[in-house]
Amino acid sequence: MKYFKFTQISADTGISWAIAQPVSGPSWPDIPGLEISNSIQLAHNSIYYLAQVSDEAIANPNNHMFELTPEEYAQELKTHVLHQLNQEKNNIYKEEKDFRDSVFSKYHETASIAGIYKYQEALELLADENALAPQVRQEATIRGVSPSVMATRIKDNHESFRTKETKIAGIRGLIQDRLNNFVFDVNDAVGSYNEFYSLDIIGTRTEMRPNPEAPGEQIETTVNITVPKYELALEQRFYQT
């Protein structure tokens, strides 16, 4: 087995993309043992790919097809993974902000602030129907409902808001901690690569699939719902966990 770093080539000329733009679109070089599905497009230099190929493969540096030592291969994998990891770190708060905007869009910032005070009044009024609770009573009068009904609505809405906010913050914190604690081990480069691109099972669903014991029949099967372990995937995690 050898380790290769290479580019796609022009289907017409066989010349590397790094040398000249292809005339008729990209093509894969004819490298013995190359499995396209297992090649890795480098995140830090996307024109290049990494792959494990057969011992019969012959490098051609003049056409940007390089043979790497195991140590060089490990370093390329490390650079690739850490580039992806830093992108996830940079995107995590933007994704959280966008998701918060979609979940809490009906809440203006001032309403959220006022809700803290009204929530305390609502608790007081529900504990004692004679409590002052001026804001709750005023809103109840405007809405045309009883103070106790208004207090219950405020309490339920505020606690729902807090539950959602806590869940979002918790999910973001979980993935942020994973990203911060991830260490790439060059002595186990493939293992570190596989770990970074592993999956989390965040739920299950049922779907109809062919019955292996009865051709032509469909059976209800439980399948896992997965997301990348080191990606925030906030919407999926929020609604599935």
User: 91 to each of 87, 95, 138, 159, 176, how far by Cα in Å?
Assistant: 6, 6, 43, 29, 11
Whether 191 is covered by a domain: the verdict is yes
pLDDT tens per residue across span 12-52: 889 998 998 777 778 999 999 999 999 999 999 999 999 99
- For every one of its 241 residues, what pLDDT tens digit does the chain have, with 9 covering 90 and above? 999 999 999 988 899 989 987 777 789 999 999 999 999 999 999 999 999 999 999 999 999 999 999 999 999 999 999 999 999 999 999 999 999 999 988 776 766 777 788 999 999 999 999 999 999 999 999 999 999 999 999 999 999 999 999 999 999 999 999 999 999 999 999 999 999 999 999 999 999 888 888 888 899 899 999 999 999 999 999 999 8
Q: 64 and 89 share a domain?
A: no
pLDDT tens per residue across span 151-173: 999 999 999 999 999 999 999 99
Q: 53 and 89 share a domain?
A: no
The predicted structure's pLDDT at residue 111: 66
The predicted structure's pLDDT at residue 214: 83
Whether 87 is covered by a domain: the verdict is yes
Q: 173 and 111 share a domain?
A: yes
Domain edge (last residue) among 36, 68, 100: 68
Q: What is the 3-state secondary structure (H, E, C) of 149-197?
A: HHHHHHHHHHHHHHHHHHHHHHHHHHHHHHHHHCCCCHHHHHHHHHHHC
Domain edge (last residue) among 43, 68, 93: 68
Domain edge (last residue) among 16, 39, 68: 68
Whether 132 is covered by a domain: the verdict is yes
Whether 128 is covered by a domain: the verdict is yes
- The whole-model pTM stands at 0.86
Q: 127 and 57 share a domain?
A: no
Q: 95 and 181 share a domain?
A: yes
54's tokens: 């057969």
Q: 44 and 118 share a domain?
A: no
Total structural domains in the chain?
A: 2
Environment class of 161 (CB within 10 Å of its CB; exposed 0-12, middle 13-18, buried 19+): middle
Q: Which domain holds residue 54?
A: 2-68
117-141 CB burial, b ≥16 within 10 A, e <16: ebbebbbebbeeeebebebbbebbe
Q: 39 and 89 share a domain?
A: no
Starting at the earlier edge strand, list the strands of the sheet with 2-7.
40-41, 48-53, 2-7, 65-68
Whether 187 is covered by a domain: the verdict is yes
The residues near 215 (Cβ < 8 Å, ≥ 6 apart) are none
Q: 95 and 132 share a domain?
A: yes
For residues 106 and 149, give the distance between their C-alpha atoms in angstroms, rounded to a whole number.
Answer: 21
Whether 92 is covered by a domain: the verdict is yes
Whether 16 is covered by a domain: the verdict is yes
Whether 126 is covered by a domain: the verdict is yes
Dihedral (C-alpha) 37, 39, 42, 47: value to the nearest 10 degrees?
-90
For residues 3 and 212, give the distance between their C-alpha atoms in angstroms, rounded to a whole number.
Answer: 39
